[in-house]
Structure 1
Amino acid sequence: MSDGKTMTIADIMTKSVVSVDSTMNVNEAAKMMEDAKVGAIIVMENNTPVGIVTDRDFSAKIVAHAYPITTPVKQIMSSPMFSVGSDDSVRSAADLMHERGIRKLPVIDNDVVVGIITASDIVNLLAVSTEDDIRDIYFHSVVKIFTNYSPYN
């Protein structure tokens, strides 16, 4: 592993990812997620990732709209799907999650899903970061926030 400024997503991503065909129904998808103990699945069409379904989608979309359990995952998936590459920095993933209000990002290299990174992965990384890394993250965040209020932009 490298230091906090140059650490890449490949350093902390989960390599085991569950993917399903877009025609699979939400009941089967939920069972797969439970069996694999994961909070997200990648939705595929013709071996290409087209969306993501998270555990939150089940409550926010299926239950709230009373969709039947035979509803295809394509109907509830989040799409377009935001993603990152394995060589991207952890900071870029954290920034994207913050900007888009998302907690899980597929990691895609050359149109192939190679992993997933979650907000929990980033929090776990923070728990073992050095004081210098935390200070760097803090100042990076402050700069991003106050850039919007700068009279020079």
Structure 2
Amino acid sequence: MNSTFVNQIMSKNVLTIEKSTSLQEAAQSMSKLNIGCVVVTEDNKPCGIVTERDFVIKVASEGRPLFTEISEVMSSPLITIEPEETVWEASEIMKEHAIHKLPVIENEKIIGIITTTDIVKISSLGSDSQMRKICDQILMRMKE
């Protein structure tokens, strides 16, 4: 089975905002673009991420005001992957860090994002025998 690379399945639709942006402005941008996360930047360099889950756990449940700066709730340091890494490597990073969204970085710039949904989509393509091979490989790795 040939390897699938991150740059083959990543989404290039990534929202980035400066760390001083308000929670409300970030949420409005995410809603407008119908995306589940935003990459936070400082001086145009990625420094963190805020996901829909962060809005539930760190904003709504704590009753933070919507004018709060996004940097106060971002997850940092930002965990990333390079575009020529394999999807398998992306899955391993996601598992290790218990994350669902993994920004793709090249030359210190965000060029895309790969999510668990992207991985599920490609896993469901192809014949049943290919899917069994993928599942077998995953199960073998989990036993190690």
Q: What TM-score, normalized to structure 2?
A: 0.94
Identity %: 33
Deviations 1:1-50 (A, max 9, x none): xxx64110110000121100000010000000001111011000011100
Q: Which residue of 2 aligns with 1:145?
A: 142
Structure 2 gaps of 5+ residues are none
Once the two structures are overlaid, the 10-residue window that deviates more, 137-146 or 34-43, is: 137-146
- How many Å apart are 1:118 and its aligned residue? 0.8
Q: Which residue of 1 aligns with 2:34?
A: 37
- How many Å apart are 1:116 and its aligned residue? 0.5
Q: What TM-score, normalized to structure 1?
A: 0.88
Task: Assess if the C-alpha contact under 8 Å between 1:49 and 1:111 holds in 2.
Answer: yes
Q: Distance in 1 between matches of 2:86 and 2:141?
A: 16
Q: After the TM superposition, which segments of 4 or more aligned residues of structure 1 sit over 4 Å from their partners?
A: none
Structure 1 gaps of 5+ residues are 148-153
Matched length? 144
Q: Secondary structure at the match of 2:31?
A: helix
AA aligned to 2:130 is D
Q: Distance in 2 between matches of 1:74 and 1:84?
A: 21
Q: Which residue of 1 aligns with 2:119?
A: 122
AA aligned to 1:108 is I
Q: Distance in 1 between matches of 2:41 and 2:95?
A: 25
Q: Secondary structure at the match of 1:49?
A: strand
Deviations 1:49-69 (A, max 9, x none): 000011111111101111111
Task: Please give the root-mean-square deviation of Cα atoms over the aligned residues, in Å.
Answer: 1.3
